[in-house]
């Protein structure tokens, strides 16, 4: 059976412990990893928990709730995983990437496949798109599940790593989708952590520089607690990620899930949506069409832009490290939005004029990551300079616009 995304829909290997049926909101698409759940004589999927011989049953038995009480009291920063991830004895690790059809999630998927992982991507296409993953059709190590991650996540495969990327991430998106944004950061993170806990997998949360709000400390260090307007328009994103960080630390402390938290600063590159409202696609698409470049406020607010491959490299290093405290990842090269607009005009050779529009409420005045932790803990450095990264990003948008 072919789904409307051109993938072959596999047998139902997803959930359903309770009903034995695939929920309406869940569709699994796969090219290879067919492994039908055991069925009872009446054809219904058997309860995993009731069937200890099944993979699911084994997993349930490996991680009974009682185990939490029997674990030795381990200091959270030295918490031991129930399964050691990344071992030589795991010839092919399995990674789950939530938000795997999004801008950064899909780059993570490619990165992991290139390093020999089997990858299960989950996305509901609210802000992700099938175009970001359609090149993976036919890859035997890739499986896609169309699902909202705020719903119960159930997989019968062993999982070694859970990379939690799912969330609207552009101010325009989360202003349009405030409730979904809050739900994915809270309920979605809960489900993703629950999946990691049940599988004994290592978990990574993609948090954000927005946890610092409109920062009063510059540049932002990881030990700065932030300056967030909880009831402002950006509060839905900022607070959902702050909650997600707190929940992640609670799973580390209470359940000894091995967790990682990355705070992502402004990142750009191919696969950003033309109309996602963020400054990089906005300025480039305006410039390529010789339309006015819309600088908000007087353009003196600052950001620093990291190319996507640098960021994904840092995230991978963090997951494979032993560090559970948050780590900033971003390019420390800071500039004003007016400078950035001029740089885009130069890089595109555009005839666009710069126009000034009102600054959105709570727009952070200054943002630059302090990346000492990433440098010393992960031996990470951003390598792609802005002109180089803009070249490939502009080429990508040029192609999108010409279609
Ligand atoms: N910005 C702008 N013009 C635009 C879009 C954004 O001047 O068309 C500014 C925005 O006000 C902010 C900066 O660019 O100061 C970065 O905005 P973005 O939406 O990319 O993400 P943010 O860093 O605010 O989360």
Q: What burial letters (b/e) apply to 321-330, b meaning 16+ CB within 10 Å?
A: eebbebbbbb
Rounded to the nearest angstrom, the gap between the alpha carbon of residue 387 and the centroid of all alpha carbons in its chain is: 25
Q: Whose CA is nearest to atom 4 of ligand 1?
A: 279
Which protein residues are within 6 Å of ligand 1, measured from CB? Answer: 170-171, 266, 277-279, 282, 294-296, 301, 303, 337, 360, 363
Q: Whose CA is nearest to atom 23 of ligand 1?
A: 266
Q: Whose CA is nearest to atom 24 of ligand 1?
A: 363
Q: Whose CA is nearest to atom 13 of ligand 1?
A: 279
Per CATH, which fold does 27-402 belong to? Rossmann fold (3.40.50)
DSSP string, 6-22: SPBP----S--TTTSS-
Tens of each residue's pLDDT in the chain, 403 residues: 333 333 333 323 323 322 233 334 444 443 222 222 222 232 222 232 223 333 322 332 233 332 322 223 333 333 334 444 444 456 899 999 999 999 999 999 999 999 999 999 999 999 999 999 999 999 999 999 999 999 998 899 999 999 999 999 999 999 999 999 999 999 999 999 999 999 999 999 999 999 999 999 999 999 999 999 999 999 999 999 999 999 999 999 999 999 999 999 999 999 999 999 999 999 999 999 999 999 999 999 999 999 999 999 999 999 999 999 999 999 999 999 999 999 999 999 999 999 999 999 999 999 999 999 999 999 999 999 999 999 999 999 999 998 8
Atom of ligand 1 nearest to the CA of 234: 25
Q: Which of 150, 191, 145 is nearest to 28 (CA)?
A: 145
- Evaluated on CA atoms 256, 258, 264, 269, the torsion sign reads negative
Q: Give me the pLDDT at residue 37, please.
A: 26
Distance 279 CA to ligand 1 centre (A): 5
- Roughly how many angstroms between the first and final C-alpha of the chain, as a whole number? 30
Given the DSSP bridges, would you call strands 302-304 and 334-336 parallel, antiparallel or unpaired?
antiparallel
Rounded Cα distance, 284 and 308, in Å: 16
Distance 243 CA to ligand 1 centre (A): 24
Taking the CA atoms of residue 206, residue 210, residue 211 and residue 213 in that order, the dihedral angle to the nearest 10 degrees is 180
Q: Six-digit token pair at 343? A: 């740089």
Rounded Cα distance, 32 and 363, in Å: 45
Distance 284 CA to ligand 1 centre (A): 13
Q: Give me the pLDDT at residue 83, please.
A: 46
Q: Which of 39, 8, 6, 7 is nearest to 22 (CA)?
A: 39
DSSP reduced 3-state for 159 = coil
Distance 287 CA to ligand 1 centre (A): 16
Q: Which of 108, 88, 89, 91 is nearest to 100 (CA)?
A: 108
Q: Give me the pLDDT at residue 18, please.
A: 24
DSSP string, 82-128: SS-TT-TT-SS-EEEEETTTSHHHHHHHHHHHHTT-EEEEEE-SSS-
Rounded Cα distance, 248 and 206, in Å: 11
Rounded Cα distance, 403 and 349, in Å: 20
| Domain residue ranges of the chain, discontinuous segments joined by + | 27-402
Residues 6+ apart with CB under 8 A from 286: 292, 293, 294, 350, 352
Distance 281 CA to ligand 1 centre (A): 10
Q: Which of 67, 11, 75 is nearest to 43 (CA)?
A: 11
Q: Six-digit token pair at 312? A: 């994904």
Distance 278 CA to ligand 1 centre (A): 6
pTM: 0.82
Q: Whose CA is nearest to atom 11 of ligand 1?
A: 296
Q: Is the Cβ–Cβ distance between 116 and 92 less than 8 Å?
A: yes
Q: What are phi and psi of 45, to 5 degrees?
A: -65, 135
**Which residues have a catalytic role annotated?**
237
* Residue of 127, 238, 278, 364 to test ligand 1 pocket, by largest number of atoms within 8 Å of CB: 278
Q: Which of 329, 274, 265 is nearest to 302 (CA)?
A: 265
| Owner of token pair 């494979």 | 320
* Residue of 303, 330, 334, 393 to test ligand 1 pocket, by largest number of atoms within 8 Å of CB: 303
């Amino acid at each position: 059976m072919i789904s409307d995304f051109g993938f072959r829909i596999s047998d139902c290997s997803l959930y359903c412990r309770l009903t034995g049926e695939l929920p309406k909101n869940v569709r699994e698409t796969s090219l290879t990893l067919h492994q039908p759940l055991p069925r009872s004589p009446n054809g219904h999927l058997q309860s995993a928990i009731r069937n200890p011989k099944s993979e699911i049953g084994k997993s349930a038995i490996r991680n009974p709730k009682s185990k939490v009480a029997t674990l030795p009291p381990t200091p959270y920063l030295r918490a031991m995983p129930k399964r050691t991830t990344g071992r030589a004895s795991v010839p092919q690790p399995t990674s789950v990437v939530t938000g795997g059809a999004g801008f950064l999630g899909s780059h993570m998927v490619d990165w992991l496949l290139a390093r020999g992982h089997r990858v299960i991507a989950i996305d509901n296409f609210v802000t992700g798109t099938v175009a970001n993953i359609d090149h993976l059709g036919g890859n035997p190590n890739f499986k896609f599940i169309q699902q909202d991650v705020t719903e119960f996540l159930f997989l019968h495969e062993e999982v070694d790593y859970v990379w939690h990327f799912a969330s609207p991430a552009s101010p325009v998106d989360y202003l349009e989708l405030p409730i979904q944004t809050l739900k994915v950061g809270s309920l979605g993170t809960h489900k993703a952590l629950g999946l990691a806990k049940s599988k004994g997998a290592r978990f990574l949360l993609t948090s954000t520089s927005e946890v610092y709000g409109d920062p009063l400390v510059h540049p932002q260090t990881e030990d700065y607690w932030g300056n967030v307007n909880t009831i402002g328009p950006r509060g839905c994103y900022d607070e959902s990620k702050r909650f997600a960080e707190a929940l992640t630390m609670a799973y580390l402390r209470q359940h000894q899930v091995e967790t990682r938290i990355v705070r992502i600063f402004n990142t750009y590159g191919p696969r950003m949506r033309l109309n996602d409202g963020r400054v990089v696609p906005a300025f480039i698409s305006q410039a390529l069409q010789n339309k006015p470049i819309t600088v908000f406020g007087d353009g003196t607010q600052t950001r620093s832009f990291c190319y996507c491959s640098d960021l994904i490299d840092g995230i991978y290093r963090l997951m494979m490290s032993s560090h559970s405290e948050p780590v900033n990842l971003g390019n420390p090269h800071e500039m004003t939005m007016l400078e950035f607009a001029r740089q885009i005009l130069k890089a595109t050779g555009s005839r666009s004029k710069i126009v000034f529009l009102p600054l959105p409420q709570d727009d952070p005045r200054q943002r630059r990551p302090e990346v000492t932790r990433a440098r010393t803990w992960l031996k990470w450095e951003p390598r792609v300079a802005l002109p180089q990264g803009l070249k490939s990003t502009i080429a990508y948008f040029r192609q999108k616009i010409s279609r």
